[in-house]
Amino acid sequence: MAKTAKTKDGDTLLAAVHADPASDAARLVYADWLTEQGDPRGEFIALQFARLERGLDATNAKRERALAHRHWKAWAGPLAPHLQRMGTRFERGFLARCALSPLTGPKCAALLGRDEWSTVERLGLSGRFGEKDDAVRLVTHPVMRALRHVAGLDARRMAELASQATPLALESVAFEWVADTPTEVARRIAEACALPNVRHLGVCAKIWARPFNPVGELRWVFDSPLFARIETLRIAHVGPLPALLAALEPKSALREIEIVDLWDVALHGESTGHHVRFERGSDGRFSRVHVRWPEIDEIAEWVVDKLRALLEELPPDGPTSLHVVLPAKATVSIELGRTLARFSRLEESEVTNAAPREARGLVGA
């Protein structure tokens, strides 16, 4: 069946968004056209822009979530069956963040080059994706023109990306490291010739049978040309914190270290679970500490005990600033207060409870 003139107009406007995903104007023009056709995606795009510009009241936020839940699969097109729902986000009306489920065989090839990828800024690769080169082919495909953050790479695929002939626009990468990583693979990652813009690095050490010492075992990363320009490090499966902080304080470009859940850093390159963030203070040390636990089902007292154990790892002359956000039902114990009292340089501290978490759905942050 031949396309109508209106459909062709819509296809042209959508193609303009895919060709220049950074353009707000192209998205808003397309939203106007969709609204004229009675397509709910026009309203959704408008709501997401309104969220960015001035925020949404409760009624409009609820409407935004409802539209996303009802239509996200249609808007993600052929990518939808292969996306993990939890990691899927729309921003400015289009798919912006997603995590792929493991895929093998011809399904991988069918996804390469799809226009729906053009607006994706963050991509997580979960488990196996195709044959040996399919993940790299996906990430480096010309259609991935908005892509800036990739997580879930194994060391070999990280090395392939790092040694591409043409520099990539990526700003953030997260990869999984194992103890028997070949020397040549480590060398290509360390040099990172194709990653001149990367300033944010995530490392997930897949070591289960023994304690993990990041200071020794990741020395090749910390002393590499790549790490010399890293500003934010997110790392999972960490051993003693004082040794890690002391080893990284001389790295002048590094501003922030975040200790996160293993699953978070591997798949998303960012923390969606509990995390501890160390920021460099005016004293040049990582003395500003932020701790946050999400709303979880475990007993609240367990969370406080876990927090105490974590803080007791830090030296008494460590933190100058400490901010803690606990789950809504957790209470501050006397023992936690005593733990805080041992920090001799602490200038400011705050322990609060998070508000009950709102179900946000498949929408922008």
pLDDT, tens digit, 9 for 90 and up, residues 60-103: 999 999 999 999 999 999 999 999 887 799 999 999 999 888 77
Q: Judge whether 124 and 152 are in contact, CB under 8 Å.
A: yes
Q: What pLDDT does 2 receive?
A: 44
The number of C-alpha atoms within 13 Å of 64 and in the hemisphere containing its C-beta is 28
> What average pLDDT does this structure show over 271-283?
80
| Average pLDDT across the chain, whole number | 85
Where does residue 120 rank: exposed (0-12), middle (13-18), buried (19+ CB within 10 A)? buried
What predicted TM-score, i.e. pTM, was given to this entire model?
0.86
**pLDDT tens-place string over residues 313-364:** 888 988 999 998 877 777 777 777 888 888 999 998 888 876 655 444 466 5
Give the strands of the sheet with 149-154, arranged side by side: 89-91, 94-100, 122-125, 149-154, 172-177, 200-205, 232-236, 256-259, 275-279, 288-292, 321-326, 348-353
Q: Judge whether 233 and 243 are in contact, CB under 8 Å.
A: no
The number of C-alpha atoms within 13 Å of 300 and in the hemisphere containing its C-beta is 12
In the chain, the percentage of residues whose pLDDT exceeds 90 is 52
Q: Between 179 and 251, whose confidence is greater?
A: 251
Which residue from 37, 112, 39 is spatially nearest to 75, judged by alpha carbons? 39
Range name among 32-46, 149-163, 218-232, 259-273 with the lowest pLDDT average: 259-273
Assign 1 a pLDDT band (cuts: 50, 70, 90): very low
